Amino acid sequence: MAFKPAIMSVSLGRGWLHDFDEKMAQAAKAGFQGIEMFVEDIEYLARKITNKAASEEPTASELLTAAKHARATCDKNNLVVITLQPFSFYEGLLDRKQHRYLLDTKLKLWFQMAKIFGTTMIQVPASFLPASQITSDRDVIVADLQELADLGAAENPPVEFAYENLCWSTYNSTWQDVWEIVRRVDRPNFGLCLDTFNIAGRAWADPASPTGKNPNADQDFRRSMAELVSKVDLKKVFYIQVVDAERMDAPLIKGHPFHVDEQPLG
């Protein structure tokens, strides 16, 4: 297995502030060889190409045109698109009409974009929609993700899905949560995206604490890493994100501008 440096496109600057072509040129100049394509960049590139306002949604055709431009730009800079992400707010929806829309319309468009980019991987973050909009029922979540995986497996070439815990995901915010779900989904094209920030953001950090960490942070984190090494099948780790974060000046408690009542803090 080859390990090559890659970077998420949005890590080079948000889509509405920084020119996509320049971001790719700078990524190549810095020695990166791969790109995680963040869909926000494609959306804003589509708006730029069509002179649409930021408030206007690009059409499917416009997104595909933007994807072709992005692929050509990556090729020019010798950058390989390793994944398209994030396919967000999918699993466990209480609104089953929205569930069908995501599978029948949005996913089909993403399959087309993935082909343009030459990637066979789509990243899926564990949902952080409000609890009023999604279920905590693991049976439903697993069934939804099995449906997603089966549709990907039917593509030519087959598409893989990398499932990632976010430390603020509503129900599945730890690596243990998503590993259990990946095991239950039990599809060869459905695995893990392990993110150092999102793992540490639960096992070590507590943004609501004045110290910024859990009471037994170091011990808990060592225990978590030992458990991960002993339990997770390496073949199911589709890729790893090495991510850090800046500690906030003030604890993330009620009244903080970033505080969201229904999201876990650690």
pLDDT along the chain (266 residues), means of 10: 85 92 97 97 96 94 98 98 97 97 98 98 97 97 98 98 96 97 98 96 87 91 96 96 84 80 63
63: tokens are 């997104």
- Per-residue pLDDT, 68: 98
Q: In the CATH scheme, what architecture does the domain 6-241 have?
A: Alpha-Beta Barrel (3.20)
60: tokens are 């499917």
Q: How far apart are the C-alpha atoms of 178 and 172, rounded to whole Å?
A: 6
Quick one: which of 69, 39, 73, 84 has its CA closest to 57? 39
- Per-residue pLDDT, 264: 63
- Per-residue pLDDT, 30: 97
* Extents of the domains making up the chain: 6-241
- Per-residue pLDDT, 246: 81
Strands 190-195 and 80-85: unpaired
Alpha helices in 51-137 (DSSP H): 60-76, 96-101, 107-117
Q: Give pTM, 2 decimals.
A: 0.93
Work out the angle at residue 256's Cα, subtended by the Cα atoms of residues 251 and 261, and round it to the nearest 5 degrees. Answer: 100
Bond prior to 157 in cis (omega within 30° of 0): yes
- Per-residue pLDDT, 212: 85
Quick one: which of 111, 116, 186 has its CA closest to 155? 111
